[in-house]
C-alpha cells in the first residue's frame, strides 16, 4: 500500500465520525468562523445545513473554506450538493444519518426544501496523530510524514 493510501486510511479512522470543526468562510474580505458537525470520507468533509444560512451564502460567492479541529487543519473547495432526498445524495444521506445520529432526526428537516448537504473537496490538510505530522496534498495525492511531539495542553 502506498504511503498516501495508508495515511488516508488513518485520516478516515481519525475523522470518519461526527467531529465538531471550526468552519471558516469569507465574505467581502471578512472571515467568518462557526462550529459545524462534519464527517470526513476519502478526501471530503460532509456537512448538513440550511441552504439560506450565512455560510451557504458565503460559499455561493467564494467556495474556498478552511476547517480546524484541535491542531488539525483542512482547506478545500465547498459546494452545496443539494437536498438530502435528491437521488444523487441517496448514498451519502444514509451514511450521514448514521454518523450524525445524535442530532439528525431532531435537527435536519428533510421536509424543508432549503435543507442541504455541503461537500468540502479537500485540497490540503495537516493531521497530527501518534507523534506524526501528515501534510496532505489531495490534488496530487501525496503526503509528507514527519515526526512530531504533541505537547499541547488541551483544556476540558
pTM comes to 0.93
pLDDT of residue 122: 98
Beta pairing class for 115-129 and 72-82: antiparallel
Q: Specify if 155 maps to a domain.
A: no
Which residues, listed in sequence order, are joined to residue 40 by a DSSP beta bridge? 45
**131 in any annotated domain:** yes
pLDDT for 55: 97
Is 151 contained in some domain? no
pLDDT given for residue 5 in this prediction: 95
Q: What is the pLDDT of residue 129?
A: 87
| CATH number of the domain enclosing 125 | 2.30.110.10
Which domain range does residue 90 map to?
3-139
Evaluate whether residue 66 is within a structural domain.
yes
Q: Looking at residue 1, what is its pLDDT?
A: 64
Instruction: Flag whether 83 is in a domain.
Output: yes
Task: Let me know how long the chain is.
Answer: 156
Rounded Cα distance between 93 and 89, Å, is: 6
- Say if 22 falls within a structural domain: yes
State the total domains in the chain. 1
> What residues of the chain score a pLDDT lower than 50?
none
- Position 111 in a domain: yes
Domain presence at residue 127: yes
User: Bridge partners of 38?
Assistant: 19
Amino acid at each position: 500500500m502506498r504511503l498516501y493510501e495508508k495515511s488516508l486510511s488513518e485520516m478516515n479512522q481519525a475523522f470518519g465520525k461526527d467531529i465538531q470543526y471550526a468552519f471558516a468562510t469569507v465574505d467581502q474580505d471578512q472571515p467568518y468562523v462557526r462550529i459545524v458537525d462534519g464527517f470526513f470520507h476519502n478526501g471530503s468533509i460532509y456537512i448538513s445545513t440550511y441552504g439560506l444560512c450565512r455560510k451557504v451564502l458565503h460559499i455561493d460567492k467564494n467556495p474556498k473554506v478552511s476547517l480546524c479541529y484541535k491542531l488539525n487543519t483542512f482547506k478545500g473547495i465547498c459546494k452545496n450538493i443539494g437536498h438530502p432526498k435528491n437521488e444523487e445524495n441517496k448514498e451519502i444521506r444514509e451514511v450521514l444519518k448514521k454518523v450524525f445520529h445524535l442530532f439528525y432526526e431532531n435537527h435536519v428537516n428533510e421536509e424543508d426544501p432549503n435543507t442541504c448537504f455541503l461537500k468540502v473537496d479537500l485540497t490540503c490538510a495537516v493531521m497530527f496523530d501518534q507523534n506524526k505530522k501528515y501534510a496532505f496534498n489531495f490534488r496530487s495525492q501525496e503526503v509528507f510524514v514527519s515526526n512530531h511531539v504533541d505537547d499541547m495542553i488541551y483544556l476540558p
